[in-house]
Amino acid sequence: MLNDRGFFGPSQYTWWVVYLVVGVVLVAAVIAWYVFAVRFSRTRLPPADRRPNPKKSDPQQLQAKYSGLIDEVEAEWRAGRLDDRATHSRLSLLLRFFAFESSGVDAHVMTLADLQRSPLPQVAGAVGEYYPPAFRADQPGDPAHALETARLVVRSWN
């Protein structure tokens, strides 16, 4: 090989920068198309049209299970392992999961406004009582009253 000086970089070719930019743009366009197709092609149903949880448990078993969990929260609060704020937060979560397991409504992922529009007025009322003590440090709650409210919601569930 006469005059072989080794590897020749792209800088000696005319328009190499344009080809590089066009190639990068094309690769980015293909990636963007796949992201767009995957992200926006899923069917989303509004919460009201979603199918409820098909697997419903026995109401008495659920009431016994969640009454026991409420008793555990009370024991932790009385032992000093939970402060007022944590007690209200935990009771709110327990009632949301109780409503989900009982009715199939996704109460465990709803905001308070969503709960108030849902067919769960008892849970929405109790969670509404738990919000100020759970989220505002200047509003101490009454854990004994909160525990009784949680028990009342669980006992009166039909």
- Taking only the tens place, the pLDDT of each residue in 10-41 is 666 677 788 889 999 999 999 999 998 888 77
Cα angle, residue 88 at apex, residues 87 and 92 outer, rounded to 5°: 115
Average pLDDT over residues 80-100: 90
Per-residue pLDDT, 143: 87
| Residue corresponding to tokens 């963007």 | 32
Contact 99, 78 (CB under 8 A): no
Positions of E strands within 34-120: none
Please check the confidence at residue 47 and state whether its pLDDT lies above 70: no
Share of the chain above pLDDT 90, in %: 32
106-147 pLDDT, tens digit per residue, is 888 888 888 888 888 898 899 888 888 777 777 777 889 999
Total residues found in the chain within this entry: 158
Average pLDDT over residues 40-56: 62
Per-residue pLDDT, 46: 65
Average pLDDT over residues 54-58: 65
Comparing CA positions, the residue from 105, 109, 143 lying closest to residue 122 is 105
What crossing angle do the helices spanning 143-155 and 84-103 adopt, rounded to 10°?
A: 10
Per-residue pLDDT, 64: 92
Please check the confidence at residue 75 and state whether its pLDDT lies above 90: yes
